[in-house]
């Protein structure tokens, strides 16, 4: 590894499994100390134990402000500062316009969009204090297609994350805080194992679904000085499934 994140600290939500775990592992290999936040503390702690002494796990429900603030306080206590926030925590159940329940709508929007806002809001103060920082949000292919394999609340929430990314980038640029997003396509995780994703997988121009590591390397680029003049952008990682 090249040590691109040497002496940096990172908080990764939804970091216990899937894409979040891949990001945590790569960031640690590149020299970062990482806080792995997950709604399931057992999973977060197990992932941290796999990574080693430069990582620790903590419980965080990103949809609840008190939980986010507690997690941020613990991160700052353990790591001393916050250089990078990765808003990766997400939730998806397939719905459609006719059958989507209010409960499904609220949970999907609260975790995917409200959670991104709450975590970014909590990160502003410690990043402003040091006049530097990077926030990476996770939007989705669904934000551009209307949610072909996800449904209306997920697509709407991820489109909201796209807009939040632009707004945060404009607001925080004077503080030397960069804000960008990644829009994954079909990535081989538990979230895309539902039958609704099979048809999409068959149409990926590059010929196969992505792996969590594909998203992790994009996150590393955005977290490092390799992207020091990039803010307010969303990078598609979808194998050509959507091109614009």
Catalytic residues: 154
Q: Evaluate whether 56 touches 50 at the Cβ level (below 8 Å).
A: no
Q: Would you list the DSSP string of 26-60?
A: HHHHTT-EEEEEESSHHHHHHHHHHH-TTEEEEE-
Q: Tell how many helices (H) and how many strands (E) occur in the chain.
A: 9, 7
Residue recorded with tokens 């990764």: 12
Q: Evaluate whether 63 touches 87 at the Cβ level (below 8 Å).
A: no
Residue 141 DSSP one-character state: T
Q: How many angstroms separate the CA atoms of 20 and 174, rounded?
A: 29
């Amino acid at each position: 590894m090249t040590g691109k994140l040497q002496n940096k600290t990172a908080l990764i939500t939804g970091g216990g499994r899937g894409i979040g775990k891949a990001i945590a592992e790569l960031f640690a290999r590149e020299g970062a100390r990482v806080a792995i936040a997950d709604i399931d503390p057992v999973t977060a702690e197990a992932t941290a134990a796999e990574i080693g002494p430069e990582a620790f796990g903590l419980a965080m429900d990103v949809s609840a402000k008190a939980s986010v603030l507690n997690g941020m306080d613990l991160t700052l206590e353990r790591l001393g500062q916050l250089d990078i926030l990765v808003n990766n925590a997400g939730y998806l159940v397939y719905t459609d316009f006719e059958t989507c329940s209010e409960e499904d709508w609220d949970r999907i929007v609260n975790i995917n969009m409200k959670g991104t806002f709450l975590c970014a809001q909590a990160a502003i103060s410690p990043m402003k204090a040091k006049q530097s920082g990077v926030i990476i949000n996770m939007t989705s292919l669904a934000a551009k297609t209307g949610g072909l394999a996800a449904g209306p609340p997920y697509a709407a929430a991820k489109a909201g994350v796209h807009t939040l990314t632009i707004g945060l980038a404009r607001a925080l640029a004077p503080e030397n805080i960069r804000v960008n997003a990644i829009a994954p396509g079909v990535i081989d995780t538990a979230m895309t194992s539902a039958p609704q994703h099979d048809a999409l997988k068959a149409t990926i121009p590059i010929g196969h679904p992505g792996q969590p590591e594909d998203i992790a390397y994009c996150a590393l680029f955005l977290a490092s000085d390799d992207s020091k003049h990039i803010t307010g952008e969303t990078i598609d990682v979808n194998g050509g499934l959507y091109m614009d």
